[in-house]
Structure 1
Amino acid sequence: MENVCKRLSCEAVNEMDMVDYLATIGLEPKLIRGNEHWYTSPFRDENTPSFKVDRKLNRWYDHGERKGGKLVDFAVEYYHCTVGELLRKLSSNLNLPVPEKRSANFQPGESNHIVITFVKPLSNFALLQYAESRSIPKEIIQKYCNEVSYNNGGKDYFAIGFKNDLGGYELRSKYFKGSSSPKGFTHLNNGQSQLAVFEGFFNFLSFQKLHQNSKMPETDFLILNSVSFFEKARPIMEGYKQANLFLDGNAAGRKFTNYACSLNPTYQDKSSLYNGHEDLNDFIRDQATKITPALKNKRGLRF
């Protein structure tokens, strides 16, 4: 057990998106200003949000406690455990005891909180154009995603919505990246013996694009929607004969790929498909920029 624990390092945990992680334990921002996500402090009872997460830096700071840090620092403080206990629990897929809940201070409508107001088939031109800018064809984005209207802080917006197994949505547009509660992973079960695993749904859609004009591999799909759900999804992944990992090519994605492959031979690293790119979507977008000029030049057009 100790060897497994060491494989999921502090560095790997700190690479997880903190806003996503807080959502998995039921903590939602009360106010969002750019990269700053404000929460009522999880460490005490309060009415005015004083706990801030800078999503760009992936750091937190509690103004009331006058302390902050990375995700590991938060988890140790929140669960009242040691770093070793935290990593051991996460690595063995055991749940940490959640501290006694604070009294509810937030009332809907008082501050920023994403509320889904309407879901319909995706047809908005701006959203379809955004999908196209990421090299996802209309027929693919419309097959797997919806057009979601939502209210955030008393204002109405719309976005591409990808539903998770708990009923929440990953929300994306040209100007917004977020999610509604409850947050979780998405498992598309087709009854196959193999599973293709992705971090985000645009990478899953990119996989569909790659096989649009060829035979789709016989596989089920798992979209984590955040690597913070990796441990919760392990029972599903390890229930397959083979789990093919198409995780991001950044530091966090590589760490979790290496970690998974060290746990069980079920896991197979398939990131060589987009080697040298941030992720699978980055790869197909790069391919599109190379193909499009070639086609246009063939037709006698100049740039």
Structure 2
Amino acid sequence: MDFRKQKLSIAEAKEMDMVQYLSSLGHEPSKIRNNDYWYHSPLREENTASFKVNRKLNRWYDHGLGKGGNIIDFGIEYHGCSVGEFLKKLDGGFSFQKTIKNIPKIENASEHPLKIFKEVELSSYTLTSYLEQRKIPVEIATQYCREVHYELNAKSYYGIGFKNDSGGFEIRNPYFKASSSPKDITTVKNASDEVAVFEGFMDFLSFKSIRANEVNNSSDFVILNSLSLFEKARPFLESHKSIRLYLDNDGAGKKVVREALSNSKKYNDHSKLYQNHKDLNDWLVYIGKQQKKRLGNKL
């Protein structure tokens, strides 16, 4: 299947949600009043939030600078680039971006929960391109993921959906990271006596991508979908003879690994595989870039 299409247009870029984009850059609102989201300006240093995004209009205004506009106006100001360069970066999966964070908890969140209204086969160009950026083959992702369309704050979006054991979804796209209720772990059962454990589904898909050509790759899997669900997963994990941990290389992940290793000899830490990287997917992306460089040097 050919997922290629025309490059991202200015009109398409303008439709991208400013609040989600700012969140993907690591900027969260300090207060929310109806449709107005107030931030400490991403464009300068300040102590009082004076940068406003009207989510209904999808426009921003920086009161300190006296400037405002749409997402393209913000992008060229924030990154110091041209319109064409900004569009190219957006289309390539936000290579400018910092760590993606969860969408901020808003004051009336209970009145506007994330609602999924449709799930279909994963085929969107934006989503498949994002997977390719993360070095995940589309044919592997489609075995475990769906394309979910959802509503949040009276707006419609779509993303890669990974279902948990209770029917909720973990949702990812290039600009957003969230989940729908109910929150739970995801188990993949192959009647094996060993199990591999991952924090998130991108790491699970990375593992499946790395092992794609192995004939005998039928262990059980647990994707926690949140490190806080590790205790809930323990009964299933410890019903196996061997438990391989592929958790994130951060403080929280390492703490869980230490506790697990002290609880049972069944646990084995495999994070050394990607010891200089945040997680398994981060390592896979790095390896992919290195291979591309080596190929380029040979040409």
Question: TM-score range, shorter-chain basis?
Answer: 0.5 to 0.7
Q: Aligned partner of 1:244: which letter?
A: R
Q: After TM superposition, give the deviation of residue 146 of structure 1 in Å.
A: 0.4
Q: Aligned partner of 2:282: which letter?
A: D
Q: Aligned partner of 1:125: which letter?
A: Y
- 1:149 aligned partner: 149
- 1:114 aligned partner: 114
- 1:54 aligned partner: none
Alignment partner of 1:207 is 2:211: no
Q: Give the distance between the partners of 2:224 and 2:250, measured in 1 at CA.
A: 16
Alignment partner of 1:289 is 2:289: yes
Q: After TM superposition, give the deviation of residue 37 of structure 1 in Å.
A: 10
Q: Give the distance between the partners of 2:228 and 2:153, measured in 1 at CA.
A: 26
Q: Relative to 1, partners in 2 of residues 1:37 and 1:199: Cα closer, same or farther, differing over 3 Å? A: farther
Q: After TM superposition, give the deviation of residue 234 of structure 1 in Å.
A: 0.8
Q: Aligned partner of 2:247: which letter?
A: L
Alignment partner of 1:263 is 2:268: no
Q: Relative to 1, partners in 2 of residues 1:107 and 1:211: Cα closer, same or farther, differing over 3 Å? A: closer
Q: Aligned partner of 2:197: which letter?
A: V
Q: Kindly indicate whether the alpha-carbon contact (under 8 Å) linking 1:163 and 1:170 is maintained by their aligned counterparts in 2.
A: yes
Q: Kindly indicate whether the alpha-carbon contact (under 8 Å) linking 1:117 and 1:150 is maintained by their aligned counterparts in 2.
A: yes
Q: Aligned partner of 2:222: which letter?
A: L
Which runs of 5 or more structure 1 residues have no equivalent in the other structure? 1-30, 39-47, 49-105
- 2:195 aligned partner: 195
Q: Give the distance between the partners of 1:218 and 1:275, measured in 2 at CA.
A: 25
- Where in structure 2 are the equivalents of 1:270-285 lying within 5 Å? 270-285=270-285
- 2:159 aligned partner: 159
- Where in structure 2 are the equivalents of 1:1-303 lying within 5 Å? 34=23, 35=28, 111-298=111-298, 300=299
- 2:88 aligned partner: none
Q: Matched residue of 1:131: which SS?
A: helix
Higher relative contact order (CA 8 A, sep 6+): 1
Q: After TM superposition, give the deviation of residue 107 of structure 1 in Å.
A: 10
Q: Relative to 1, partners in 2 of residues 1:36 and 1:239: Cα closer, same or farther, differing over 3 Å? A: farther
Q: Relative to 1, partners in 2 of residues 1:173 and 1:37: Cα closer, same or farther, differing over 3 Å? A: farther
Q: Give the distance between the partners of 1:37 and 1:215, measured in 2 at CA.
A: 51
Q: Kindly indicate whether the alpha-carbon contact (under 8 Å) linking 1:118 and 1:150 is maintained by their aligned counterparts in 2.
A: yes
Q: Give the distance between the partners of 1:217 and 1:191, measured in 2 at CA.
A: 12
Q: After TM superposition, give the deviation of residue 148 of structure 1 in Å.
A: 0.2
Q: Give the distance between the partners of 2:215 and 2:288, measured in 1 at CA.
A: 20
Q: Structure 1 segments of 4 or more deviating over 4 A?
A: 31-34
How many residues matched?
A: 203
Deviations 1:148-186 (A, max 9, x none): 000001100000000000000000000100000001100
Q: After TM superposition, give the deviation of residue 142 of structure 1 in Å.
A: 1.1
Q: Kindly indicate whether the alpha-carbon contact (under 8 Å) linking 1:194 and 1:218 is maintained by their aligned counterparts in 2.
A: no
Q: Matched residue of 1:190: which SS?
A: coil
Deviations 1:194-251 (A, max 9, x none): 0000000000000011112233433100000011101111111111111110001111
Q: Aligned partner of 1:249: which letter?
A: N
Q: Give the distance between the partners of 1:212 and 1:107, measured in 2 at CA.
A: 40
Q: Relative to 1, partners in 2 of residues 1:107 and 1:244: Cα closer, same or farther, differing over 3 Å? A: closer
Equivalent pairs: percent with the same residue?
42
Q: After TM superposition, give the deviation of residue 36 of structure 1 in Å.
A: 5.6
Q: Give the distance between the partners of 2:288 and 2:134, measured in 1 at CA.
A: 9
Q: After TM superposition, give the deviation of residue 280 of structure 1 in Å.
A: 0.3
Which runs of 5 or more structure 2 residues have no equivalent in the other structure? 1-18, 35-107
Deviates most, 134-143 or 194-203: 134-143
Q: Give the distance between the partners of 1:37 and 1:116, measured in 2 at CA.
A: 27
